[in-house]
Amino acid sequence: MGSGRRRRRTALSSTATDLFAQTFGGAPTHRAHAPGRVNLIGEHIDYAGLSVFPMAVQRGITAHFRPRTDRTVRVLNLNRKYDRRTFTIDDSFTPYTDGDWGNYLKAAAQELERDHGPLSGIDAVIESSLPVAAGLSSSSALVVNIAVSLLHASGVTVNTSRLAEQLAEAEQFVGTRGGGMDQAICLGAVAGCASIVEFDPLRLTPVDVPRDWHFVIASTRTPAEKAGAMQEAYNSRRRATEEALYAVIAHLDTPRGVSSYRELLVELARADIHEIAHHVLGGTLLKRFRHVVTEAVRVEAAAQAMGARNLERFGVLMNESHVSLRDDYQVSTPELDQLTEIACEAGAAGARLTGAGFGGCAVVLVDAPRVTHVCQALREGFYQARQLVGSIDDYLFVATPSGGATVTALS
């Protein structure tokens, strides 16, 4: 399966280079690569300022680009579903229509021009080995890719942490209020490791992934779009977590100076937090709050489990996370539930949805001897009855913990 993917990437790169020459004349001078990511645990809590535990994967977004002498950006996508986009970098960026892929290009350019301009333009051809809207951060990988391409073309260097924070803000141009995990791991990942990502200030702490641990990515085939109704569902959960926090803080009977989930978890015992929440909150707000505080605890425990090479413990935490996301945060789907159930019944240590939910992918933890069996169970129990477009490798693959974004010169 691995050699087939390498051949496919080589063919895509050749096609990208040919398309560049046909469209722009000559050859690209540089290649930028930004990885996708799989969040192992810590879902929907980065925007609450709480630590998360993702890793970059071997698949991602690649741009074959050439700097321009003016401020025009011209970008083609090998996927013909996405039309060519051309714009000028200036002080006013008018968005394309809602959901247009070009808004991610403009998001990067606008944020960088504001803080690091004037920027030079680029000509670029984009190719992707990530499934779109699968919860593997293809959108953030695109933003990061264009950002590092524009910075390189302009001769500008930006600290990784600062750039990650700026690009998290940049994505609000497309209407999604994320939390910064995707940009941080896409830029700062270390090969062979997952990373604990902390916020305010941003900090990444690599943790070695044991070599006999395998994280299998299984797609539902249902896009996890962050546009339209799904975008509002995503944003409404962020608003609910903030509303629940404020209600709990207002109920505290001593002036503790608590203003965030992180401070709340430091200042109060967990039992006290849950007691106050059940007294103050109800219904949806209680569910959202409960997910946030329990997920934060699971992140800490999962990092310790990986450090101790305790696969069984890590798997239990993944299962608990999925239940919380399904029942309290209400972002799972029947397909995600089915994938996790099939995997666990086949011998996986644990499984959970990854990314925003509402579709996308599940991530499955398997020890080395069971990988083939679990993947076969998923093929037979989930994919066999569904008509697939393309190769099974587009929907089911083993993730490799990979490094962050790079720009390389082409000879």
* Contact (CB, 8 A) for 347 and 401: no
| 207 within 8 A of 194, measured Cβ to Cβ | yes
pLDDT reported for residue 240: 96
State pLDDT tens for residues 20-52: 999 999 999 999 999 999 999 999 999 999 999
pTM > 0.95: yes or no: no
Q: Cβ-count burial of 362 within 10 angstroms (0-12 exposed, 13-18 middle, 19+ buried)?
A: buried
Would you give the distance in Å from CA 340 to the centre of its chain? 19
* Residue with more model confidence, 244 or 253: 244
Residue 76 DSSP label = E
232-249: per-residue pLDDT in tens? 888 899 999 999 999 999
What tens digit of pLDDT does each residue of 310-345 get? 999 999 999 999 999 999 999 999 999 999 999 999
Cα-based distances in Å from 231 to 81, 91, 98, 142, 182: 21, 27, 10, 18, 16
Report how far residue 376's alpha carbon sits from residue 384's, in angstroms, rounded to the nearest whole number.
10
What pLDDT sits at residue 2? Answer: 37
Dist CA 77 CA 96 (whole Å) = 16
Encode pLDDT of 8-24 as tens digits. 444 445 789 999 999 99
Q: Which residues are catalytically annotated?
A: 182
DSSP 299-310: HHHHHHHHHTT-
Mind giving me the DSSP string for 83-100? Answer: --EEEE-SS-----STT-
pLDDT of residue 134: 78
In whole angstroms, give the CA distance from residue 332 to residue 25.
47
Domains of the chain: 2-207+403-409 (3.30.230.10)
Q: What is the pLDDT of residue 4?
A: 38
Please report the pLDDT score of residue 192 as a whole number.
98
